[in-house]
Every structure is written in C-alpha cells, then in structure tokens.
Amino acid sequence: MQVVRESGVGYYVGDLAAGRAEETRVAGESPGVWVGGGSGVLDQRGEVDPVVFHQVLAGRDPLDDRPLRASRGDRSVAGVDLVFCAPKSVSVLHLLAPRELADAAGAAHQAAVADAVGYIERVAHGVRRRQAGVAHRVAATGVVAAGFVHRTSRALDPHLHTHLVMANVAQGVEGTWSATDTRRLFLHRRAIGSVYEASLRHELTGRTGIAWEPVTTTRANTVITSGRVPSIRWDVAGIDPVLLRLFSQRAASIDEFVHRRGGGRPSAGLRRTAFHIDRPDKDQGQTVDGLRSAWKSRAADFGIDPADLIRLVGRVRDAPPHATVDNDLLAARLEHLATKRSWLAGRDVVAAVADASPSGLPAPVVERVAHTLGTAVAEHDGRALAQLTQLTQLAQSPQPTLSRVSAQEPRWVAADVVRTVRSQFDPLVSSLDRIGGDSAVAERARAPVPRADRAHERAERARWDRLGPRTLDR
C-alpha cells in the first residue's frame, strides 16, 4: 500500500504505449477501468479517461469541477495504491499455459480483485465526521478507484498484478464528500491481501480444478514470516520449481542485493530498501507477444515445455461438500501471533482464516467463519460478547455497508482464540452449511455490495442535521 501524489498519477495513465492492442502492450499494460460504488456515484464506469483520472485524484468532481475534499497543495494525498499480486505460479499459467488455462487464470485474478474491493467497502472504507468535538467513523457509498492490470515485472518476467488506485475522496452516507479515512484501510491491509489470495485460489480451483501447496523452501508445510507477522502463502501444485525461479529475475536481484549489503543477515527493512534501490525501468519497446516467445525459448533451454502445464487441470476431482479451513495451519498461525500479541483484532482472524484455506474461500465466507470463531470465543468473555453482539446487529442489518455507528473493531485475548480453534473448530466449519455451501457463497461473493437508496440517504442526512453542527475530517 503506497501513497499516491498528484505528481505520480502519470505512471498509471501517462505511460501507455499508444497504438498497441491491449493484449500486446507492455508500457502501462492496461488503460484501466473504474471500480467501486463511489466511482458509480461520480458517473465513472468502464475504461479510465486520463483527464478524468487526473481530476478525480486532484479531488475534484469530473462532472462540474467542484472540490470533493480540501486541498493542502503539495502536501495533499491524491490516493493510495493497493497492489494485488498473483503468485508466480499463477502468473506463469496466465502468460505461458495453453489458452484456456491462461484465460482462466486471468479471469480468476480479476474476480479475486473484485472480491477484495467488496471486502474493503464492507469493512475498511469510510470517512470521519466530528460532532461536539468527538470524531465518528461514518460509512461511505463506496470506493472511488481505478484498476490497472499489469502482466510483467520490471525485469520483464511474467508477473500478473493489479494496481488498485483509490482516490482520496469518498461520499459519506449522509451525502457529503470529503477525504477518506485511510486509518482503517491501513490497519486492514494484511487482511485485504489475504482475502484476495483466498478468493484467487477459490476462483481458479473452481474454474480448472488445480491443486495448491504451501510456499516453502523445502516443499514441506511451513509457516513463513513476512515482516513481523507470519503468513501462509500458496502456489499452484505440480509446477516445476525451476520454471518459477527462471522467471523470478527481480526477486533474484533483490536477494543478491540483500546478501551483498546484509552480510548474511537479511531483514524485512533491507528487502524494502533493495526493492526501491534495485528497481530498473520497464522497457517500453517490448510487447507481451514478443516476450512470450522469448519466455518459451528460455524455458525450452531448460528442457521445459509450457504446454505441459495443461496437465495441472483437474487434479482436485473430489471437491468437498463445502469449502474448508485447515485447522492445524490456522492454529499454527494464531499461535505464532499469540507469541507477539496479547490481543487479536477481527482483521487478524480474517487474515488467518483466509490464509489457512488450501483451496480458498470467497471473502463473505472468510468473514462469516471469522465471525463464527469470534462468537465462540466471546461465549467465554462477557466484554467480547457485548462487542460481538453489536457487530452482529450491524452485519444483519438490511444494508450492512451503511453502518452509522462508530463501533470499535472487536478483539479477543489471543490465547483464548487459539484455545477455541484447537477445541471447537468442527462446529465452526460446519457453520458454512448454514449459508449454503460453495455454490451459494460464490454467488453471494459476486453479488454487488448494497448501496444507499435515496430514502436512506435522506433519513441519514436528517439524522445528522438533528445532531447539530459538525465539521468534516478532510
């Protein structure tokens, strides 16, 4: 998650290779499309227009040029860039596998990004309002964002990823536009990434029947650490690791930098430094079609035929009656977290549940399982139960994205969460049956996020007027 300044907007819309068909462009990769409920409110749909994109990130309404948020000149934050990166194995499938499998990988990535956007709008997006000196978090009508699909790394290796550029503007459900409250988005960034990856696995498994395995250095089940918080990562099972390393030149370059500068003691901070210092410019004279031929030749030099990737299809033949979560992996992640924290927030549990699902889950199911786990923990903790009761009331309201209270995110004693997973997980998984199994939850995952109707907006505006004078947190 990176801050976008107005001076950096050109990276997304100013570097497109003019005159190239979309399937062959490298520079810029994609013209981008508008996503999110807030974009619809501004009447922005379909392909991104560069002029309109500049206007929106400058905090102005593209229809009448009125300001949507306060401007602080050079200090203004135009937006944030959330990058959704497919695992290397999925990137290889999308750019080197036979057409049907390649298309399925690309479609699964797009669906997973859309699922993650839905999670953001339900949980991590909103605005701040002040009344009587007290700050309140108010839900918004949706994100104003554009998605730019890129398919190559700066080293010109297969690297399927989407830049979701969220403008720093949002309309509160009471009807007023202002800057967004990025605090909550920042807190949920890890959960957002885990939700995307779980949805990607769910989508690609459902489309092709491929299997998954944990990402390790020894090909054994291992929980790896990213930064200070452990996570579980997955790759497509059955792909020759030589093929993955062959198209990971950027990662190899970073590893070399870290080894050279770190003296055998790598750290997350040093890797971040290497990412920015050892960052080449992308060659804009290349096309994806030309690169694909070079990639296949490179693979052939190592005795690998990318056409053989089709054999990965259909490995998951006997699908379970409903999606599952690996109890041992979930407990291992939570136990690791419990050694570093006394409390776990709802977003921590969401990330852990998403990571511990081998074949993935749609975002609404991840949220439901995390909520069920929290309920089980709260049964033994009166304070947590009170918090969870309030959360449940919000989740069961007709329009859950339009919650009008500033409820704190529930949290639980970390040891209690681990204990519950170890002793009560079977009822937890069976709770998925109550929301209809895989087909029903997949349909729910693709359903549009509820939006505010006019009657609700009028009622919300009247409620805020009755509360008296307020100021906008711009």
Give the model confidence (pLDDT) of 400-446 as tens digits.
Answer: 333 333 345 778 888 888 888 888 655 445 445 444 444 444 444 33
Cross-sheet strand order for the sheet of 470-472: 134-138, 127-131, 470-472
Question: Which residues, 6 or more positions from 133, have their beta carbon under 8 angstroms from its beta carbon?
Answer: none
**SS3 at position 215:** coil
Confidence (pLDDT) at 118? 94
The pairing of beta strand 212-214 with beta strand 158-167? unpaired
Q: What is the chain's length?
A: 474
Residue 310 predicted with pLDDT over 70: yes
φ/ψ (deg, to 5) at 16: -70, 140
What confidence category does residue 101 fall into, taking pLDDT thresholds of 50, 70 and 90?
very high
Alpha-helix residue ranges (DSSP H) falling in 82-233: 88-96, 99-119, 182-187, 189-208
Residue 24 predicted with pLDDT over 50: no
Residue 22 predicted with pLDDT over 70: no
Confidence (pLDDT) at 273? 57
Task: Compute the mean pLDDT over every residue in the chain, rounded to the nearest whole number.
Answer: 75
What confidence category does residue 25 fall into, taking pLDDT thresholds of 50, 70 and 90?
very low
- Better pLDDT: 356 or 448: 356
What confidence category does residue 218 fall into, taking pLDDT thresholds of 50, 70 and 90?
very low
Confidence (pLDDT) at 255? 56
Residue 450 predicted with pLDDT over 50: no
The rounded distance, in Å, linking the Cα atoms of 62 and 372 is 43
Confidence (pLDDT) at 434? 47
- Cα distances from 152 to residues 68, 292, 295, in angstroms, run 35, 11, 12
**What's the mean pLDDT in 47-53?**
92
Residue 449 predicted with pLDDT over 50: no
What is the maximum span of the chain, computed from C-alpha positions, in angstroms? Answer: 73
Per the CB < 8 A criterion, the answer to whether 4 and 78 are in contact is: yes
Confidence (pLDDT) at 263? 58
Confidence (pLDDT) at 290? 81
Residue 399 predicted with pLDDT over 50: no
Q: Which of 2-11, 143-152, 405-414, 429-438 has the lowest mean pLDDT?
A: 429-438
Q: Which of 27-36, 77-86, 147-156, 363-372 has the highest mean pLDDT?
A: 77-86
Per the CB < 8 A criterion, the answer to whether 212 and 201 are in contact is: yes
Cβ-count burial of 432 within 10 angstroms (0-12 exposed, 13-18 middle, 19+ buried)?
A: buried
Q: Which residues pair with 136 in a beta bridge?
A: 129
- Better pLDDT: 298 or 391: 298
The rounded distance, in Å, linking the Cα atoms of 123 and 334 is 21
**What's the mean pLDDT in 366-372?**
86
The pairing of beta strand 170-171 with beta strand 33-35? unpaired
The rounded distance, in Å, linking the Cα atoms of 153 and 334 is 33
**What's the mean pLDDT in 300-326?**
77
Confidence (pLDDT) at 363? 93
Which of 158, 312, 163, 331 has the alpha carbon at shortest distance from 232?
331
Residue 224 predicted with pLDDT over 50: no
Residue 167 predicted with pLDDT over 50: yes
Confidence (pLDDT) at 362? 92
Residue 258 predicted with pLDDT over 80: no
Confidence (pLDDT) at 377? 82
**What's the mean pLDDT in 30-44?**
90
- Better pLDDT: 377 or 206: 206
Confidence (pLDDT) at 283? 54
